[in-house]
Amino acid sequence: MKRVLRERIAEVRHHWRHYVLQSLAAGLTVFLAILFMTFQNQIIIASLGATAFIVFAMPNSVTAQPRRVVGGHAVGVLAGFCCSLLPHATQLGATVVYACAVAVSMFLMVASDTEHPPAAGTALGIASSAHTWQNDLGVLIGAIVLTVVQRILHPRLRDLT
Structural domain spans, the chain:
2-156
Q: What pTM did the predictor assign? A: 0.89
More confident residue, 45 or 65: 65
pLDDT digits over 54-111, tens only? Answer: 999 999 999 999 999 999 999 999 999 999 999 988 999 999 999 999 999 999 999 9
Lowest mean pLDDT among 23-32, 53-62, 110-119, 124-133: 124-133
What string of H, E and C letters represents the secondary structure of 83-104? HHCCCCCCHHHHHHHHHHHHHH
Per-residue model confidence (pLDDT) at position 72: 98
Evaluate whether 49 touches 42 at the Cβ level (below 8 Å): no
Per-residue model confidence (pLDDT) at position 39: 60
Evaluate whether 76 touches 105 at the Cβ level (below 8 Å): yes
Per-residue model confidence (pLDDT) at position 4: 82
Buried b (16+ CB within 10 A) or exposed e, 86-114: eebeeeeebeebbebbbebbbebbeeeeb
Evaluate whether 130 touches 27 at the Cβ level (below 8 Å): no
Which residue type, as a one-letter code, is found at position 87?
P
Binning the chain into helix, strand and coil, the percentages to the nearest 5 are 80, 0, 20
